[in-house]
Structures are given as C-alpha cells and as structure tokens.
Structure 1
Amino acid sequence: MSRHDPRADRAAPGKGLVVVAEDDPAVASLVRLYLDRDGFGVETYGNGATALQAIRSHRPVAVVLDIGLPGMDGIEVCRRLRADGDRTPVLFVTARDDEVDRVLGLELGADDYVTKPFSPRELVARVHAVLRRSQPDDAAGGRHTLGPVVLDAAQRRAWNEGAEVALTATEFDLLAHLVRQPGRVWQRDELLGAVWGYSAAAGSRTVDVHISQLRTKFGAGCPIRTVRGVGYAADERGDVR
C-alpha cells in the first residue's frame, strides 16, 4: 500500500512535486520532511507499482527512487519510465555502492544517486542539482558544434551526424560543459563541481560512468577523449580512450 502525504495535495507547491518511492517508513518520512521544508510538494509510496502509476499520473518534477522496493524494484520502475520516453530526473537511493554502475547505466539513464546512510540535506541538494540540469541554460546560448556532434543549449537537444541522440539532463550538461571549451582538459573533481555541483568527496565514479554512457550513445562520433592520469577533454579527434 502506498503512503500518501496529505500536504502534497496543497495547491501549487512552490518548487513542484517530487515523488519519493521508499519502503522504509522512517526514511520516507525524513525525506518528505526535508523536501517539504524546502518548498516541494511531496508524495511518498512504499512499492514500485504504485510509485510508477503516480509518476505517470502526476508528472512530478523529480523522482527519488529506492532500489530495494518490494515487488517491482526501483530499477524496473526507472526502466519502464525510460521505455515510455519519460525523462523526468531520477535520483536513486541505494544501500550498496556496487550497484552504482547499474543505476547510472545506459539502459536506465538515471541522473544521480545517493547511498545509505545519507544526509537528508545532501539528498535535497542533489534534487536541486538534477533540476538545474534539466532546465534550459539561456546563458550558454545557441548551438555548439564539435565534429559530428551538435548541441542546442536552449532546447537541450543533441545530434550526432544529423541523428538526434536522447540524453538525460546530466548527460547533456556533462557533454555541453566539455564541448563549450574544446581542447581543455578537465579533472574529474572539476567536472563534479561544475556539472553535478558537489565536491570530489562524492567520488569520481559518477563522472566515469556518465562518460561511458555518452561514448556508448554517440559511438565513434563521441568527441570525448581520456587524458591519462588527468581527466577528460572534448575535441575533434573524437573518442580516444
């Protein structure tokens, strides 16, 4: 059975609705409290099937999704959303660090993750970060082209050799950040700060996994190259690992 917060029905929550899928009542209550304090409308659900139905019905601005949900787990919920073409930002909650590659993997397209135990303030900060990455960046301006890759900052769309490539908000921002300054080499902690908005203490695996996703999606046309022992850069030499 789902657990629904009546406060989520308030008219026009200031920052939009966040669906939280978490089967631990204590964790769900804490996450709801902190998101509510920050101005979000919140609905909490204790299993994957009802959470998926709610996401499809209510169109939240973001989803906080525990992996270990009963019945339909969080990974399956995200997979079905992405199969529907739903690009709502998804932040996974996982109790196992070795699941990170899975939850951020190409077949799911999650935007970020936190591992238990986590700070509820950090989770709220991560929600804000994925929402920022899902919005058009007018300051970035126009289109950016590098080799066969074209990015439209206003529409947040990407093409490779004329064919559109579907990207998550995080994937788009990472690629755009590299493409806007071709040839510059970025360390992983610099990319974490610039794209994700948090420090290297969060770990560099997130950067590596998203780079891997972009390379898979763009294939030989991917402009990102690895600079051994330093980090990553984008240039017309393309995918050099």
Structure 2
Amino acid sequence: MVKILIADDEKDIRDIVTWYLSREGFEVFAAADGHAAMDIETAHLPDLLILDVMMPGLSGWEIAKTVQRKVPIIFLTALNEENDKIHGFKLGADDYIAKPFSPRELVARVQVILRRTGTLALPGDVLQFPPLSLEPGTQKVSVNEQVVELSAKEFELLYFLIRHPHTVFTRENLLVNLWGYDFDGDERTVDSTIRRIRKKMGVAEDFIKTVRGSGYKFEADKV
C-alpha cells in the first residue's frame, strides 16, 4: 500500500486530508508538528509528504531540508506569496498548494505525482530501465524481453527499491517496511531475498547496489 504523510498543526485539515486519501486506498500517517512528522518519516518511509510550512517544532521548510532521501513533497500552506512558492520549489517541492484548498484537487495532484514517479501504477503502466522492465499492475518483470519469474516478496522488494531510487535502505528498514514489525526472522532474510532477485535478473543484477556497512539501493540509467 502506498504511504502518505500529512503534517499540519490544524486537526481539521489533518482529518479531511486523511479521509480523502484513505478513501482512495492510501495508507495515511498524520502529524501535528514537525518533530512528529520526522519521526514518522524515519520509521515508516512514506512515499509522499504533504507538509504545512508553519508548524510547531520544525517547519515544512526545515523538514524538506532534513529528509535524507528522495521523496515527493507537496507544500500545503497559507503562505501564498510568489516568493514563498519559489522558495518551496527551490527546496525540491513537487507541488505547492495554497489554503484554502480543494481536497479533491489535492488527491488528484497526489495521484499525478505518484504516477509520474512510478509509485502509483495503472494496468498497462511499464517502468523501463533497459534491459529491465517492470509492470507494477501485473507484477511482470522482464530482462531483455525475457520474463523473470519472481515470487511475490521478491517483486515487492524490487519494486520498493525502484520506487525510491538512489535511497539507501538498511536491512532493518526493509524488514520493517516489507515484512512488518512482527516478522520473526532476522536481517539475513533480506540478504537472501536480494541474492535470489539478482540471480534471476542476470545482466540487470547490478541495478541493485550493495552499500557496504549500510544496506541496499536501486540505481539505473533512467533514475
């Protein structure tokens, strides 16, 4: 399930954004201040951040500068001056929405951004990283147009890494996000799953990089 963080110190806004996004099938985490937002970002690695700018603790600006991985960001704020918008985009924002706002429009913008990044896929969508191609809707993976048979968990792990290119994930991160907090195995489960994926991917195996002492990341020419 695609995960989204909404961080805003106004409860009514958190509630309405959560309701509209949950209705579309997203898993939504809500934070009332900047420090809580960073705790959620670190623990759950959301696929997209919706940030108010003026919040207690850390502002939306500060969160955008603090996040260490590449993740789409939408600023949702009452600051509507041109300089504010320019500053937001300079910080790497993918969109900037001024309050008051339409929840339906926000959902539509979220969907557009997630489709563009390959996180939210429709039937027929194909992610291309020659010679690797991946169809999220059907869970079909091919290398040089030859189908690669991955298990459900192997596909889930590969797709997770592809959705977060260049981001290094520790084994613990991957265990929590893909196997769950209550998983009874250990970090060697991640290593063995990565080994199986690489073996099946053949010439595309090097797209999954090992970062010594840290974990794994996905890198290919497209990203």
- Range into which the TM-score falls when normalised by the shorter chain: 0.5 to 0.7
Q: What is the rounded CA distance, in whole Å, between the counterparts of 2:105 and 2:70 in structure 1?
A: 22
Opposite residue 54 of structure 1, the aligned amino acid is I
1:118 aligns with one of 83, 101, 111: 101
- Runs of 4+ in structure 1 displaced over 3 angstroms? 136-143
Q: What is the rounded CA distance, in whole Å, between the counterparts of 1:25 and 1:139 in structure 2?
A: 37
Matched residue SS, 1:88: coil
2:2 maps to 1:16: yes
Match of 1:186 in 2: none
Identity among equivalent positions (%) equals 36
Matched residue SS, 2:87: helix
2:74 maps to 1:95: no
Match of 1:44 in 2: 30
Q: What is the rounded CA distance, in whole Å, between the counterparts of 1:57 and 1:141 in structure 2?
A: 29
Cα RMSD of the aligned pairs, angstroms, is: 2.8
How far apart are 1:138 and its partner, in Å? Answer: 3.9
Q: What is the rounded CA distance, in whole Å, between the counterparts of 1:71 and 1:43 in structure 2?
A: 18
2:9 maps to 1:26: no
**Contact 2:118 / 2:127 at 8 angstroms: preserved in 1?**
no
How far apart are 1:78 and its partner, in Å? Answer: 0.7
How far apart are 1:139 and its partner, in Å? Answer: 7.0
Opposite residue 54 of structure 2, the aligned amino acid is G
Q: Which runs of 5+ in 2 are unaligned?
A: 120-124, 132-161, 167-223
Match of 2:192 in 1: none
Match of 2:194 in 1: none
Match of 2:184 in 1: none
Matched residue SS, 1:71: coil
CA deviation profile, 1:161-181 (whole Å, cap 9, x unmatched): xxx9xxxxxxxxxxxxxxxxx
How far apart are 1:142 and its partner, in Å? Answer: 5.3
Matched residue SS, 1:68: coil
How far apart are 1:17 and its partner, in Å? Answer: 1.4
Distance 1:16 1:139, change over 3 A: closer
Where do 1:83-162 residues align within 5 Å? 84=68, 86-98=69-81, 99-105=84-90, 108-135=91-118, 138=126
Q: What is the rounded CA distance, in whole Å, between the counterparts of 2:128 and 2:27 in structure 1?
A: 30
2:60 maps to 1:77: no
Distance 1:138 1:76, change over 3 A: same
Distance 1:72 1:37, change over 3 A: same
